[in-house]
Homo-oligomer: A and B are copies of this chain.
């Protein structure tokens, strides 16, 4: 049950941090959400302090993100635009899974630079790289081939921007649904002169 409590604390903290921010969540609130008595020091039997909890939490979630199996691709359907649209929708779902971690990054930036750097090098650079391969194989248009790396970053940036707008404003932020958005982005990437 010892390890069980530790994980329950991490789960509770993840939800609270994503919602309110790390600094704004007192340890007492974490204890309460984890089923411990608020104000008892029970938390401190599992973590030296709040900082150590954040580190452990990020470790766990980053590992989960890395080990996530990409969903199987239906390679055999439709034209390039359709295939890319489907992939982009899947990527948006992945971003949503990553959401809490992203929010914590946002709140911890400045206070925890090496956390930020880990996320950047682990997730961001890998996304650019795989995005570049994806876009080159599915949308080898002239605009893409001129600078595939930049095209991949446009794709990634658009996805992240849309996701964040959806998260920070009540969803949907604008008149465009996730479906329409993915389709428009795919169409732009695959439109051949």
Contacts and interface: CB of A to CB of B under 8 A. Distances in A.
Count of this chain's copies in the oligomeric assembly = 2
A109 B147 CA distance: 36
Given A168-B105, A181-B154, A181-B157, A149 B175 contact: yes
Interface string A164-193: 110011100111100011011101110111
Interface of A: 19-21, 23-24, 105-107, 109-111, 116-117, 120, 124-125, 128, 141-144, 146-147, 149-151, 153-154, 156-162, 164-165, 168-170, 173-176, 180-181, 183-185, 187-189, 191-193
A129 to B, nearest CB: 10
Contacts of A187: 143, 146-147
